[in-house]
Chains A and B, each alone.
Chain A
Amino acid sequence: MDILVCLKQTFDTEERIVIEDGQISDDGVEFVINPYDEYAVEEAIRLRDEHGGEVTVITVGPDRAEQALRTAMAMGADKGIIVDDEDLENADEYSIARVLAAVIKDLDFDIILGGYMAIDDGSAQVGPRLAELLEIPHISTITKLTIDGESVEAEKDVEGDVEYIQSKLPILVTAQQGLNDPRYPSLPGIMKAKKKPLEQLDLDDLDLDEEDLEGKTETLEVFLPPEKEAGKILEGELDEQVKELVQRLQSEAKVI
């Protein structure tokens, strides 16, 4: 089985966000595999161990994103492809999906996995867009996946409920939390990751023109959420507190 995983390197979830000159600064930041993509990598390795074949991890990003691919290889992925994003201007989900589609159209695959969203931009679009471009079915936010021959069965999280969906290979699925418990990379895995094949591509290699890839969205402003202000604790007799609360909800918060 040929298994592809699309992954993104994102800020570590514990990083503090600093804005400099209207941009999010990545100075001194720790990067990780986007946590949802980590579920995808784990599921891919399990599929490979069960059905045989190879897991290829693919990312579009700067040089440092190679680290994310190496980590996936340390977990057990067999090879990697990184597409340099230097020539991409104002790239958004549209652009990334196009680049991924161009990489994947030259590859053999039975299934493509990804996280359902990246924790940085949080748009949850790249997976479905990619499936559309490749003209294959997709199931998003899956929490269980079973493959038997050509047939695919997935459990999909829908706001707390579960949908059971059947489909066929080839397919693209995106992972929701709960799909699995990603393994730690083993030490020998880490030591050997560097020796696994990693292909580096740029837009020219893919016959892509950067003008066709320009994002369809425009960022107007980047700002941090307002600082949380201290809450107000009401005091006094219960009756008075209720009165004050109603009054504040009317005149201050203006919600009633």
Chain B
Amino acid sequence: MDFDLTEEQRMIRKLLRDFAEGEVAPGADERDRTKVFPRDVFKKMADLNMMGLPFPEEYGGAGADSISFAIAVEELSRVCASTGISYSAHVSLGCAPLYLFGTEEQKKEYLVPLCRGETMGAFGLTEPGAGSDAGGTRTTAVKEGDEWVINGSKCFITNASYSDFLALTAVTSKEPEGPEITAFIVPTDTEGFQVIDNYIKLGLHSSNTTELVLEDVRIPHQNILGEVGHGFKQFLVTLDGGRIGIGAMAVGIAQGAYEAALQYARERTQFGQSISKFQVIQHKLADMAMNIELARNMVYKAAWLKDCGRRFTKEASICKLFASEMAMRVCDQAVQIHGGYGYMHDYRVERFFRDVKLTEIGEGTSEIQRMVIAREIGC
């Protein structure tokens, strides 16, 4: 056993901490109010070669590991969860499927610009009628000659307004044992393809969440990601990796909320003393510190298994589930410790409180995580 980060991982944490404090935190509250996507932040991240962090150098990546990816998402989310989710989705939903399932040509054409940060990565799975039950996809793709014609719609797709292309799933044939699902790489400027940025959200205001509408979108056969009929398996694998990202995001938000609460508790005086002297407040803070530490360890463990090339489905679900549920409680109690001030925008915890809810929903709800874990333990 070795609980120490490697030298590179420590340097990456320091870099991301400094970058997050210096470049991401200053505009975070403002972006939350104005709902402006942090393009300049991603431009700077691209300059430091962070956009392809866990992918090999030959594809424009930095060749770091999944633990470093988790560290990066945590540090960004600690100051701005919108930046955290956009980055996590870019890497684990945008880049990863291309890296894992793309042909060599597809990697050169699509993965390289993503890793260089020339465009944002996105993945279109969820539909109005198919969320947790992603197998219930209704979007269809029909082969006509050498082309596929795609019709349907997707909802809640992160980053798509800033993506030049994205992978999305469609039913390619209806078999008796269930629909055959295939993933396609679709350029967003293809005729008949609309990206609609129109949601009014609870939080994550400066992240980009979109609806996709596809009307007779024609795509050449070579744009099939991997092979026909592999779509279902592909997104299961993709989501395993994505869950590490959402787990790390939850740890980051919780860490940010906890630090704010600790600082506030030390400074705020009531009944003639600092409220951090009240045992009730101390216990709240102790619970936060404990849960964050546990969640972070689990995120690292899932990422470590992934880096070792071992199975990590169960651990990814455990880390995502535990981290998101503890982060909800941490943000709730962080607002509580701030009293009325916590309800106000000027104190960061109000933003964290709104942002954190997504971690219990995206990339598989808590209910779905429990189903995955139950299946993994042999229920």
Q: Which residues of A contact B (CB under 8 A)?
A: 30, 32, 67, 70-71, 74, 184-188, 190-191, 193-194
Contacts and interface: CB of A to CB of B under 8 A. Distances in A.
B69 to A, nearest CB: 11
B10 A67 contact: yes
Interface in B53-88: 53, 57, 62-64
A194 B8 contact: yes
Contact of A70 (B11, B18, B63): B11
A71 B57 CA distance: 20
Q: Is the interface of B mostly helix, strand, loop or mixed?
A: helix
Nearest to B10: A67
B15 interface: yes
B48 A184 contact: yes
Given A184-B18, A184-B19, A184-B48, A190 B57 contact: no
A187 B62 contact: yes
B311 to A, nearest CB: 27
B14 interface: yes
Given A71-B14, A185-B11, 5 more contacts: A70-B11, A74-B15, A184-B15, A187-B53, A191-B63
B7 A187 contact: no
A188 B50 contact: no
B194 interface: no
Contacts of B373: none
A185 B47 CA distance: 11
B50 A187 contact: yes
Contact of A188 (B14, B18, B49): B49
Contacts of A191: 8, 62-64
B260 interface: no
Contact of A71 (B11, B50, B62): B11
Contacts of B47: 186
B12 interface: yes
Give 3 closest A-B pairs by Cβ, nearest first.
Answer: A187-B62, A187-B49, A190-B11
A70 to B, nearest CB: 6
Contacts of A188: 49, 57, 62-63
Contacts of B11: 67, 70-71, 74, 185, 190, 193
- Give the interface SS of chain A, mostly helix, strand, loop or mixed: helix
Contacts of A74: 11, 15
A74 B48 CA distance: 11
A106 to B, nearest CB: 27
Interface of B: 7-8, 10-12, 14-15, 18-19, 47-50, 53, 57, 62-64
A187 B12 contact: yes
Contacts of A185: 11, 15
Given A184-B19, A190-B8, A191-B62, A32 B48 contact: no
27 contacts: A30-B14, A32-B14, A67-B10, A67-B11, A70-B7, A70-B11, A74-B11, A184-B18, A184-B19, A185-B11, A186-B47, A186-B48, A186-B49, A187-B49, A187-B62, A187-B64, A188-B49, A188-B57, A190-B15, A190-B62, A190-B64, A191-B62, A191-B63, A193-B7, A193-B8, A194-B7, A194-B8
A67 B6 CA distance: 11
B292 to A, nearest CB: 16
B7 A67 contact: yes
A194 B12 CA distance: 13
Contact of B12 (A32, A67, A190): A190
Contacts of B49: 186-188
A111 B50 CA distance: 33
Nearest to A32: B14
Given A70-B7, A194-B7, A187 B48 contact: yes
A185 B64 CA distance: 14
A243 to B, nearest CB: 28
B136 to A, nearest CB: 39
A45 B239 CA distance: 42
B235 to A, nearest CB: 28
A71 B15 CA distance: 10
Contacts of B15: 74, 184-185, 187, 190
Greatest chain B CB density within 10 A among A30, A70, A190, A194 is at A190
Nearest to B62: A187
A246 B52 CA distance: 66
B170 to A, nearest CB: 35
Contacts of A184: 15, 18-19, 48
A67 B18 CA distance: 16
Contacts of B12: 187, 190
Contacts of B63: 188, 191
B20 to A, nearest CB: 11
A71 B10 CA distance: 10
A185 B16 CA distance: 10
Which of B8, B11, B19, B49 has the most A CB atoms < 10 Å from its CB? B11
A188 B190 CA distance: 34
Contacts of B7: 67, 70, 193-194
Nearest to A187: B62
Nearest to A67: B7
Most buried by B among A71, A187, A193: A187
Nearest to A182: B18
Nearest to B12: A190
A185 B12 CA distance: 9
Instruction: Give the most central of B14, B47, B48: most A CB within 10 Å.
Output: B14
B202 to A, nearest CB: 32
Contacts of B8: 190-191, 193-194
Chain B CB within 10 Å, residue with most, of A30, A67, A184: A184
Nearest to B8: A190
Contacts of B14: 30, 32, 71
